[in-house]
Every structure is written in C-alpha cells, then in structure tokens.
Homo-oligomer: A and B are copies of this chain.
Amino acid sequence: MSNKPTLKDIISANHRIKPYVTRTPLHRYLSLDRILNAHIYVKHENHQRLGAFKMRGGINLVSQLNEQERVSGVVAASSGNHGQSIAYAAGIFNTEATIVVPEQANPGKVESMENLGANVIFHGKVFDESHTYAESIAMDTNRRFIHSADEPHLISGVGTTTLEIIEDLPNVEVIIVPIGGGSGACGAGIAAKSINPDIKIIGVQSEHAKAAYLSWKHNKIMESPMETIAEGLATSTGYELTKSILRDILDDFILVTDQELDQAIVLNLEKTHNLTEHAGASPLAAALKIKDQLHGKKVALIMSGGNLSIPQLKIALKQNT
C-alpha cells in the first residue's frame, strides 16, 4: 500500500478546507508576457491568509487528527510558513501547537505564530537542526510530530492550489512551482498530471540548497549544504515520500542562484506589485532562465508566499535597482 495521495484525496481536501482558506486569484500579467514571450499567469498564494500556500495543508491535516492527538497537542519544525500554518489550524481545531524555529528565523513569521497562540521555541542554526529537536520533543512527550513535507495530508491540502489553477485556466500547459521539502510540488504534480498528463510540472530550488534536487536526480535521499537566503526553499536533505512522488511527476527541475531570486523579487514588485519571499519569487526566476522552452505557452507561476522581511527587501532592492 502506498501512502501517496491521489486526485481523490486532493478533491476531498478541497471540500474540507474550503471554509477556512481564501480562493486565491490567478492573474494574467501582460508586462510579464512581454518579457517572457509567453502567456504568464500568477497563482497568488501570497494572497492566502497568513501570506502563504502552506495553510491549505495545515488545515487539511490538523482537521483529521484523532482525539488523542488533538488533546495532547502537536509539534512541528519550521522556517516560518509551515509553523504559521500549523499554529493557525491548531487554533481552529482546538489543539496546542509547539513550533521549533531556527534561531535566525524571519521575525515577521515568528510574530505571526506567537499571535496565533503557538508555543515558539528557538533552536538550531538551520532548519534541519530545529527539525531534529522538534522530533525529539514530540517523541519524549508522546505528541504528534507534523513533518513539513512528508505528510500525505499536507500534500493533498496544498494540491488544492493546482485544482484552482486548472479550474481558472483549463488549458494551462506549464506550472512552475517552488520546492523546499517538496510538498507543494508533489501536490501540484498529482493534481495536474491526474487531470491532464500533458501539463508540464517544473520545480525550482536554490543552487545553494539543492538536497531535494540531488535526491530527485539520483533517486535516493541525498544531503547537500544549505547556504541559501531563501528560507522557504531551505532543507539540507531530501525526504522519502516527496522524493518518490517528485520522481513520478516532475518534468524538469531548475536551480537558481540567490542573486536570481533577488532579481525576481524586484521584478515582481515592479511588474505585478506584489511582495514575494524568495520561494515565492523562484518560479519567475526559473521562467527567466528557461525562457526559450516557454515560448508561446500558457504558463502558471505559483507565487507561494509573500512573507519577506524588510531587511530582506532592502537587500534585494539594493542589488537590483
């Protein structure tokens, strides 16, 4: 038996989460069309409540906890958006969330988790250290650990983003999606390929944290140094479930530099007037890199989140204007 989610799981998730999430728009940007010589649509998950796509997964998972799990509370590790998502869902479904974040976590995301009532613990220089610590807390206290990617209910939840893309643009040809742990790309790929196997799914990751890329390419879990500024794309290891799904559904996997991510942040500000975090800007950075392949096509860029901090914004502007 496989625990890989199916289209049916994504449709069930859609029904389950609908009362709690925003139906985000898919906007066409003619100014991006001109730059890319293609029909460019942006799926605005940065307009989602809490500014990121993740809560679609958090609500789908937390709403299905059993009574013992709910009463005991849940534990997660997060660079930011996963933690916000779990904290939000915990508030709705009346459980307690403990979130371990890296010491240098994005302060806006941390403030949001605290405002939502989560118990936030700072631990670890990088996400993977927070992850290990969170797992040990969950184990010691017999609470449910919610992995940031290898969770079928998270994947089904975030797959609803792509159901909405296809609802709005049935003849979409290419979907470009950011990859950190890979749950977003897995959800997008399962939804898209189940409906129309001809839709191309292209993943993006930072060159400076390419564990998921290497794991996908070599079809085994690999580690790689994590030196990117893009917290939402930052893991130093691939994960088993997402790796095996990505092998099935990804048509291509593009690596971009942090500098290219900063350029894309500024281009998004200028042409779409949206603030994007590095992960959220990565599909545009990838599109610029593979412009020739996209020529004349209908392309959806998943703008996964907008939670950039002011210091991050100033760096991007300084280097690109």
Contacts and interface: CB of A to CB of B under 8 A. Distances in A.
27 contacts: A22-B25, A23-B23, A25-B49, A27-B49, A30-B112, A30-B115, A31-B112, A34-B115, A44-B47, A46-B273, A51-B272, A51-B273, A108-B270, A108-B271, A266-B310, A269-B275, A269-B310, A269-B313, A270-B310, A273-B275, A273-B306, A273-B307, A273-B308, A274-B306, A275-B275, A310-B317, A317-B317
A269 B309 CA distance: 8
Interface string A275-316: 100000000000000000000000000000011111001100
Contacts of A317: 310, 313-314, 317
Contacts of A33: 115
A313 to B, nearest CB: 7
Interface string A9-42: 0000000000000110101001101100000000
Given A44-B47, A46-B273, A314-B321, 15 more contacts: A23-B23, A30-B115, A30-B116, A31-B112, A34-B115, A47-B47, A51-B273, A270-B310, A273-B306, A273-B307, A273-B308, A274-B275, A313-B317, A314-B317, A317-B317
Nearest to A321: B310
Nearest to A276: B273
Contacts of A27: 22, 49
A198 interface: no
A27 B84 CA distance: 15
Nearest to A48: B25
A111 interface: yes
Contacts of A269: 275, 310, 313
Interface of A: 22-23, 25, 27, 30-31, 33-34, 44, 46-47, 49, 51, 108, 111-112, 115-116, 266, 269-275, 306-310, 313-314, 317, 321
Each complex incorporates copies of this chain amounting to 2
Given A47-B25, A317-B313, A111 B31 contact: yes
Nearest to A114: B30
Contacts of A108: 31, 270-271, 273
Contacts of A116: 30
A124 B204 CA distance: 46
A33 B27 CA distance: 30
A177 to B, nearest CB: 20
Contacts of A31: 108, 111-112, 115
A310 B30 CA distance: 18
A308 B274 CA distance: 10
Nearest to A274: B275
A23 B22 CA distance: 10
A90 to B, nearest CB: 14
Nearest to A49: B27
